[in-house]
A and B are shown apart, each in its own frame.
Chain A
């Protein structure tokens, strides 16, 4: 993709990729990191099924399920924001961005509550292999949600002077693409670490 994309002007007009190519490279790198993480998780879990089952039995499902819904709601808000900017409905679009951040904050609060409980119970990265994966994956993802919110906040801030509108959507689409990636990773993480027992 690296090389050819530069010569696009010569290519016939084809499908449009929303957002910036640089962000897609970043997203690919992030997905690769998480992908390798999940793969290694699978290998370790195969080797120590009892340990992982025992660890998972300490994980409540209610809060993570709520968190899943919150992130998906955030994603929906990002879609709405892009659509509204495309129609030049500036105020409504910015409201959608704000709402996405509210949902994101909700996710972060729930997650913090869950993680705090684990830390109080004396669980650390060095406890055992299951908790090593649990903490590194969830904290790493948590920080991605934070980063996603920073990006959305930046878009919200820059949108105040009408920078985004019909035909000028790259910035919003780029932010939305990142948010969807964070959402996608959570769905896999939720299924793999919390649900699949």
Chain B
């Protein structure tokens, strides 16, 4: 078999292919951005949930936990913790940390006040309402 193989064709395929597929990706991004609200019609992004998201971020929760499977793999998935444990358990748990059990993984005490705890719970409630296409496979996350 013989064939020509030129740098200019390879270069054109690189530029053309990249632009072509990036434009498709942009088109899909527009479609996704438009479809996200109806896909997640049940998810209530309340003001409290927005404040809770800031608490989630500024305490670096994703440094240990996953949320919808993304984050760190040191501590349990929290996307569905609202369903798994319920609001009161979450607040009580946050207040009781750290357990100081020797050798066990420790979660820091973040000293959140009651209003902040409510906001965080609102955020976790919102997370649990997101339509994840039935992920995780079971309640344990």
A13 touches B20 (CB 8 A): no
Known: A14-B1, A125-B35, A126-B39. Contact between A170 and B17, CB under 8 A? Answer: no
Looking at the complex, which one of A5, A124, A140 makes contact with B5 (CB distance below 8 Å)? A5
B4 at the A interface (CB under 8 A) = yes
12 pairs, A vs B, C-beta closer than 8 Å? A16-B2, A17-B1, A18-B3, A19-B3, A20-B4, A21-B4, A22-B10, A23-B13, A126-B38, A143-B20, A151-B16, A174-B9
Give bound CA distance, A76 to B112, whole Å: 73
Cβ of A44 to closest chain B Cβ, rounded Å? 15
B2 touches A15 (CB 8 A): yes
A125 touches B31 (CB 8 A): yes
A38 at the B interface (CB under 8 A) = no
Task: Give B contacts to A, CB under 8 Å.
Answer: 1-6, 9-10, 13, 16-17, 20, 24, 31, 35, 38-39
Give bound CA distance, A174 to B16, whole Å: 14
Task: Give A contacts to B, CB under 8 Å.
Answer: 5, 8, 11, 13-26, 124-126, 140, 143, 147, 150-151, 170, 174
Chain A residue contacts of B4, Cβ below 8 A: 19-21, 170
Give bound CA distance, A13 to B1, whole Å: 7
Of all chain A residues, the one with the shortest Cβ separation from B5 is A21
Give bound CA distance, A170 to B16, whole Å: 18
B31 touches A140 (CB 8 A): no
Known: A14-B1, A17-B1. Contact between A22 and B6, CB under 8 A? Answer: yes
Known: A124-B35, A126-B35. Contact between A16 and B3, CB under 8 A? Answer: yes
A20 touches B9 (CB 8 A): yes
Cβ of A128 to closest chain B Cβ, rounded Å? 14
Give bound CA distance, A21 to B3, whole Å: 6
Give chain B's interface secondary structure class. Answer: helix
Known: A125-B31, A125-B35, A174-B9. Contact between A20 and B17, CB under 8 A? Answer: no
Give bound CA distance, A25 to B12, whole Å: 13
Chain A residue contacts of B35, Cβ below 8 A: 124-126
Of all chain A residues, the one with the shortest Cβ separation from B17 is A26
B16 touches A20 (CB 8 A): no
Pairs A-B, 5 closest by C-beta atoms: A17-B3, A21-B5, A20-B9, A22-B10, A21-B3
B3 touches A24 (CB 8 A): yes
Give bound CA distance, A64 to B13, whole Å: 29
B13 touches A17 (CB 8 A): no
A20 touches B24 (CB 8 A): no
Chain A residue contacts of B39, Cβ below 8 A: 126
Of all chain B residues, the one with the shortest Cβ separation from A8 is B2
Looking at the complex, which one of A13, A124, A143, A150 makes contact with B2 (CB distance below 8 Å)? A13
Most chain A beta-carbon neighbours within 10 Å: one of B9, B16, B24, B31: B9
Chain B residue contacts of A140, Cβ below 8 A: 24
Chain B residue contacts of A14, Cβ below 8 A: 1-2
Chain A residue contacts of B1, Cβ below 8 A: 5, 8, 14-17
Chain B residue contacts of A174, Cβ below 8 A: 9
